[in-house]
Chain A
C-alpha cells in the first residue's frame, strides 16, 4: 500500500523560506505569484496490511511522532492504494 504524507506549516506561522522563494520568483519575472509556503512530502510504502483504516492510523502515528513538528506544522495523509 502506498501513501503520501504532506507536511505544511500551520497558517500564521512565519515561513522564512517561502518568503525568500516568493521574492526570488518575483525577481525572476514569474508573474502572478501572490505567496509561497514551503512544505515537505513523504512517499511511504506500507507492507503487511490492506486495511485502509489501519494504514491511516499507522501513518497518523508516524506523522505525530516524527514526520511533523505538530507545534508548528500540520499534516495531511493520503492513502493512494
Chain B
C-alpha cells in the first residue's frame, strides 16, 4: 500500500504506530491498510479498532478528513464505528484470493473520480471475512444515499450471485460513511497499479485521490 501511494502520488506516506495518539501534522489522507491486525483474533479488526491511534483517526474523520480502509482496514473501520455494518465470514467459509470484478457505482466522490460510473475494474481480493452485512434499515440507507461505491459484478458489470464471491448483501464491496469522506472496501486496488504486475485497474482510485488533493491545493 505504501509503495502504491508513493508510486501514484509521488509522496512518501508517513507510517503511524498503533500506540501513537496523534496523526502527523498536515495529514490529508489516512489509509488503514490490510493485514490481519492482531491475527484477527476475537473478531477481524476488533482489537486494532481499539488501538490508541484510532481516536485520532476518528477525530480526523469527524473534521472531514479522508480515510480509506482496505480489507482488514475496512473491518477496522466498521469495528471502530466509522462505518456501519460488519464483515462476516465468506459464504463458502474459506479464505479466497483471486481477481474479482467491481462495478464502480459513482464517479463523483474523491475516491472514485478516477473512474466513470458503471465502469468495471478488475482487482484482487484476499480475505476470509469479507461478506458485508448490516440490518435492513442500514442497507436501505446506504443504497438510498448512494453510499455503495463498489459492487462485485461480472466482467460486463452484471451483479449476479455467481460473481459475488463472498456472498455480501447486495454484492457490496465498498461503502462510504454519511459524509462521504470515509471509504471502506474489501478488494485491494493497491495491488493492481502496475502493468508489469499484471493490471492497472486499481490505479484510478489513487490517481483520483491524488488529483483531488492537487485541485484542493
Question: In which size bucket is the chain B interface?
Answer: under 10
Cβ-defined contact, A20 with B50, below 8 A? no
- Check A28 against B39 for contact (C-beta < 8 Å): no
Main secondary structure of the interface of B (DSSP, over half): loop
B50 x A21 contact (CB < 8 A): no
Q: Separation in Å of the A20 CB from the closest CB of chain B? A: 4
Interface size class for chain A?
A: under 10
Hey, which chain B residues are within 8 Å of A28, CB to CB? 50
In the bound complex, residues from chain A placing their C-beta under 8 Å from that of B19 are 27
Q: Cα distance A24–B51 when bound, in Å?
A: 8
Asked if A16 is at the interface (CB within 8 A of a chain B CB), the reply is: yes
Q: Which residues of A contact B42 (CB under 8 A)?
A: 17, 20-21, 24, 38
What's the nearest-Cβ distance from chain B to residue A13, in Å?
15
User: Within 8 Å of chain A (Cβ to Cβ): is B17?
Assistant: no
Which chain A residues in 20-43 approach chain B with CB under 8 Å?
20-21, 24, 27-28, 38
C-alpha spacing A57/B162, complex, angstroms: 42
Nearest neighbor of A36 in chain B, beta-carbon distance: B42
Contact of B41 with A16 in the complex, beta carbons under 8 Å: yes
> Which residues in A have their C-beta under 8 angstroms from that of B39?
16-17, 20
* A interface residue numbers (CB < 8 A to B): 16-17, 20-21, 24, 27-28, 38
Counting from the closest, the 3 A-B pairs by CB-CB distance are: A17-B41, A20-B41, A24-B47
